[in-house]
């Protein structure tokens, strides 16, 4: 586990409130198994292994069941925030996450949080290395937005400077930070990740099957390399 060495920190806000409407048959995508853990916990563990601090998880759909998944995580490790308006779109969860971050900074004496990564809870192949590279890129470039490119295509997670928090708080509907990316094109740094599977979200049963197959392939490859 890495601690940030600068006088300020980048928070991780994990959006885990969605209704999984595209998954079908009443499945909750974040609770689906991947190896010996639920989908949500893979991204959370990557964030915990990274330099990002604090870590805030925004819940909504089936929040009580998701809380059970998080029961083994200390309140000193993660902050859980609940979004009662999650059906009104992703923007409501971003606003809840930013507000929880502001509140936690006010309540706890810590290095100032000068930026935040917005992560999707259904990207289980995201890695500590991707998260730390985005944070390092912001420090190296001074850009206010840092976003990864997966084989040339922009995806999540996206890092936003704290100066953009007021505008994130003004988002509406089901938009993420796309409006800000369009508004501040000259202030964006990009990082080519190369691993396109890391950008896959588990929105549908089909993409879940693809992620599951890739996960199993990677486990087999690791087993071969260590044998």
The 10s digit of each residue's pLDDT in 37-84 is 999 999 999 999 999 999 999 999 899 999 999 998 887 789 999 999
- CATH 3.40.50.300 for domain 9-226, yes or no, is no
For 169-192, the three-class secondary structure string (H helix, E strand, C coil) is CCCCCCCCCHHHHHHCHHHEEEEE
Return the top range by mean pLDDT from 5-19, 29-43, 175-189: 29-43
Q: Is the pLDDT of residue 101 over 60?
A: yes
Q: Residue 64 is encoded by which pair of tokens? A: 């009580």
pLDDT at residue 218, as a whole number: 84
Task: Tell me if 18 sits within 8 A of 90, measured CB to CB.
Answer: yes
pLDDT at residue 2, as a whole number: 39
The 10s digit of each residue's pLDDT in 206-217 is 888 999 998 888
Long-range contacts of the stretch 166-169 (C-beta < 8 A, 24+) = 168/94, 168/95, 168/98, 169/95, 169/98, 169/99
Give the Cα-Cα-Cα angle 97, 93, 199 (nearest 5 degrees). Answer: 95
Taking the CA atoms of 46, 193, 34 and 178 in sequence, report the sign of the dihedral they define: positive
Q: How confident is the model at residue 105 (pLDDT cuts 50, 70, 90)?
A: low
pLDDT at residue 3, as a whole number: 39
């Amino acid at each position: 586990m890495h601690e940030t060495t600068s006088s300020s920190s980048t928070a991780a806000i994990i959006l885990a409130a969605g209704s999984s409407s595209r998954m079908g048959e009443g499945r909750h995508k974040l609770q689906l198994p991947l190896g010996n853990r639920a989908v949500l916990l893979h991204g959370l563990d990557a964030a915990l292994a990274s330099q990002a601090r604090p870590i805030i998880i925004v819940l909504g759909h089936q929040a009580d069941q998701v809380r059970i998944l998080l029961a083994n995580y200390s309140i000193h490790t993660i902050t859980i925030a609940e979004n009662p308006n999650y059906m009104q779109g992703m923007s409501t969860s971003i606003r809840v996450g930013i507000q929880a971050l502001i509140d936690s900074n006010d309540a706890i004496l810590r290095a100032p949080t000068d930026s935040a990564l917005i992560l999707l809870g259904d990207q289980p192949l995201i890695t500590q290395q991707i998260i730390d590279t985005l944070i390092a890129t912001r420090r190296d470039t001074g850009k206010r937005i840092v976003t990864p490119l997966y084989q040339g295509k922009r995806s999540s997670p996206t890092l936003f400077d704290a100066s953009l928090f007021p505008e994130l708080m003004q988002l509406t509907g089901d938009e993420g930070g796309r409006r800000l990316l369009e508004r501040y094109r000259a202030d964006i740094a990009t990082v080519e990740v190369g691993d396109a599977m890391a950008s896959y979200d588990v929105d549908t049963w089909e993409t879940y099957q693809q992620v599951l197959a890739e996960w199993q392939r990677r486990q087999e490859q690791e087993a071969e390399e260590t044998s």
